Chains A and B, each alone.
Chain A
Amino acid sequence: MAGFFAWRGRHLPPPVVALLMAPFFMLIVFAFLYPILSLLSLSVTEPQPGLGNYAKIVENPLYATVLMRTLWIAVVVTVCSLLLAFPLAMAMAQARGAMALLLTACVLLPFWSSVLVRTAAWSVLLQRNGIVNGLLQWVGLTSEPVRLLYTEGAVVIAMTHVLMPFMVLPIYGALRNIPPDYGRAAAICGAGPIRRFFEVTFPLALPGVMGGAILVFLTALGYFITPALLGSPKEQMIATLISQQLREFLDWPFAAALVGVLTVFVTAITLAFSKVFRFDRMMGGQL
């Protein structure tokens, strides 16, 4: 990265750097910080100044329940996508030629359709008279249609599917950065394939794993469409409640307070992550 600001072998003067960075900071300030701060200020000023909206969140156990549920689903989705993504990323890193192209396409193609379309596709597969239920009965595992749609399982499966590319790509990047010599060196020293994986490959891929995990986890926390379409009320996440307050009850200050609570959680979790896993060093994926 250091080379980015070097110009004819010299560093750019600070004012030029500031100028180049200005558009980015303007975007952050006007398109992100300003709106979110004005929303949050609404939560402590309306309808009366004070913490009334936050008191409402604490008083009703519903909000704690939904928040815990949101965290739980996000954790499950993160773990599931890690388990599925790691082998795929390894296959991608090792594949050559047409195979590499095919695998990459499989990961990237879903990005070309919207989340809504992918979610709707799952509801077609999982419905009472859908393909999955048909298959289960044909194989003889079940005698009548079982409830697959509108369950936690449906929400987790679909969210994992939608979010998996965010896990695959960072891990793939990290794996590609591992010089093949390391593996060979370990082999020469007598390490078998399993030991090579756990002592060389996996530790070196960890930055990618952490990057992917935090991307998937944080995105999952704010998920809304998938739980709304595939889950029952028992799977509704905090974002659904926020949207309901905004669109249905037109209670902006209370919705803002919910946003405030979610923001605090997300910030705390991100900070904890970076503390424990030294996130700052890992993002670069440097060896």
Chain B
Amino acid sequence: MNLRTFLRPAGGVLALAMATTTITAAHADEIVIATTGGQMRNTMEEYFYTPFAEETGIEVIPFDIEVPDQWARAEGMARTGNMEFDIVTATGPDLVDKADILLTIPCDEMANVKEYALPGACQPKGLARTTGGMVLTYNTDLFGDNPPTTWADFWDVEAYPGPRGLPDTGDRDWWLPVVALLADGVPKADLFPLDLDRAYAKLDEIKPHIDVWWKTGNQVQQILRDDEVALAMAYSGRALKVVQEGRPFAMAWDGAIRDTGYFAVMKDAPDLDGALKFLNFFYGKADGHPGFIRTVGYATSSTIGLSQLPEDEQKLYATYPANYEQLVDPDFAWIGAHRDELRERWNSWLLQ
């Protein structure tokens, strides 16, 4: 799922207020969890923080903060040796970038994680919280009889005519090269390291057919809703809302890019034990998941989570088994090492 969009409504005011009030000192019976504010914080509180406190007596102090700010602060705290966060929110690339200040998660010692975690949910430095995908979303009124199923179909403007939308936000500097290579016939397993020359040659083909380069999650939801586009790459959580509003859209999961938000634990966390207890609780708290998943629009990686929803509804989420196995698993180590090159290339190409 996309943090930037998620975070935006959180705002700095709340974060500031929280900073002055809650970060006094985390005692043994409380843990501080930094996430984006607004819906994510509220939903986590309702379905997980409160039940966790009731069961274990460990209070969760939510700390609303945008992810880049969170890292700036966490790094400052790590330097001064005065760590106040226990659990933080991380993207895939963050787990590589910030590895030296994060705890290696002992998944093997966490009963519920061992029991219920989906494959790939436990990374060395993080544990999956919510998973979505950058997914091909298409209009079923137009293509109901012969639906597009792959990115090659997105590129096929003859068979699937109509206005198209692609993101110009978030991690598009590798998302789009990835889908271009898929459209050009590269198998998912051989994507990385990305052949950027080949990818951009393929992107040149589709560029004239892109009507909207969307900038925010709200915008992609709106261009789908208003029939501004017939096909688009969208955040799956946004596409999901459009589908649930009854609009004629569907998602094609083959080659969707996995987009996972992780929990990470600070190496110097004041209450390591409490933090790990919470993660274990999150994976095992069966009755919290359905409400949480439905509210945030992204699925958790616990097998006892999504499976509680009706089968038809499950199919709209990235972690539904048939969808999950078709996702692209990004190589964050490679992406992290080539960040500047990817950005430069993308910007030069798009704005020309």
Query: Is B211 located at the chain interface by the 8 A CB criterion?
Result: yes
Query: Is A113 located at the chain interface by the 8 A CB criterion?
Result: no
Instruction: Compute how far the CA of A232 lies from the CA of B165 in the bound complex, rounded to whole angstroms.
Output: 11
Residues of A with C-beta under 8 A to B211: 128, 147, 150
Instruction: Compute how far the CA of A244 lies from the CA of B169 in the bound complex, rounded to whole angstroms.
Output: 10
Instruction: Compute how far the CA of A241 lies from the CA of B213 in the bound complex, rounded to whole angstroms.
Output: 15
Query: Is B93 located at the chain interface by the 8 A CB criterion?
Result: no
Residues of A with C-beta under 8 A to B347: 62, 244
Instruction: Compute how far the CA of A60 lies from the CA of B351 in the bound complex, rounded to whole angstroms.
Output: 12
Residues of B with C-beta under 8 A to A233: 168, 213, 350-351
When the two chains form their complex, are residues A62 and B226 in contact, meaning their CB atoms are under 8 A apart? no
Chain A interface helix/strand/loop/mixed: loop
Closest to B348 in A: A62
Tell me, rounded to whole Å, the shortest Cβ–Cβ distance linking B205 to chain A. 16
When the two chains form their complex, are residues A128 and B226 in contact, meaning their CB atoms are under 8 A apart? yes
B333-344 interface mask toward A, CB cutoff 8 Å, 1 = contact, 0 = none? 000000000011
Instruction: Compute how far the CA of A66 lies from the CA of B212 in the bound complex, rounded to whole angstroms.
Output: 19
Query: Is B227 located at the chain interface by the 8 A CB criterion?
Result: yes
B152-164 interface mask toward A, CB cutoff 8 Å, 1 = contact, 0 = none? 0000000000010
Closest to B350 in A: A233
When the two chains form their complex, are residues A128 and B228 in contact, meaning their CB atoms are under 8 A apart? yes
When the two chains form their complex, are residues B351 and A150 in contact, meaning their CB atoms are under 8 A apart? no
Tell me, rounded to whole Å, the shortest Cβ–Cβ distance linking B33 to chain A. 25
Query: Is B352 located at the chain interface by the 8 A CB criterion?
Result: yes
Instruction: Compute how far the CA of A127 lies from the CA of B211 in the bound complex, rounded to whole angstroms.
Output: 11
Closest to B343 in A: A249
Query: Is B215 located at the chain interface by the 8 A CB criterion?
Result: yes
Instruction: Compute how far the CA of A66 lies from the CA of B343 in the bound complex, rounded to whole angstroms.
Output: 17
Instruction: Compute how far the CA of A128 lies from the CA of B344 in the bound complex, rounded to whole angstroms.
Output: 32
Residue among A66, A128, A228, A234 with the most chain B CB within 10 A? Answer: A128
Instruction: Compute how far the CA of A233 lies from the CA of B172 in the bound complex, rounded to whole angstroms.
Output: 14
Tell me, rounded to whole Å, the shortest Cβ–Cβ distance linking A72 to chain B. 14
Q: Which of A233-252 contact B (CB under 8 A)?
A: 233-234, 236, 241, 244, 249-250
Tell me, rounded to whole Å, the shortest Cβ–Cβ distance linking A282 to chain B. 37
When the two chains form their complex, are residues B215 and A228 in contact, meaning their CB atoms are under 8 A apart? yes
When the two chains form their complex, are residues A129 and B213 in contact, meaning their CB atoms are under 8 A apart? no
Instruction: Compute how far the CA of A66 lies from the CA of B347 in the bound complex, rounded to whole angstroms.
Output: 11
Residues of B with C-beta under 8 A to A228: 215
Tell me, rounded to whole Å, the shortest Cβ–Cβ distance linking A231 to chain B. 10
Query: Is B68 located at the chain interface by the 8 A CB criterion?
Result: yes
When the two chains form their complex, are residues B351 and A234 in contact, meaning their CB atoms are under 8 A apart? yes
Residues of A with C-beta under 8 A to B228: 127-129, 149
Residue among A60, A228, A232 with the most chain B CB within 10 A? Answer: A232
With A150-B212, A249-B343 as known contacts, state yes or no: A62 contacts B227, CB within 8 Å.
no
Chain A residues close to B by CB (< 8 Å): 60, 62, 65-66, 127-129, 147, 149-150, 228, 232-234, 236, 241, 244, 249-250
Chain B residues close to A by CB (< 8 Å): 68, 163, 168, 211-213, 215, 226-228, 343-344, 347-348, 350-352
Query: What 6 A-B pairs have minimum CB-CB distances, sorted nearest first?
Result: A233-B350, A62-B348, A128-B228, A233-B351, A233-B213, A236-B351
* Interface CB pairs A-B, < 8 A, 5: A127-B226, A128-B163, A128-B211, A150-B211, A150-B212
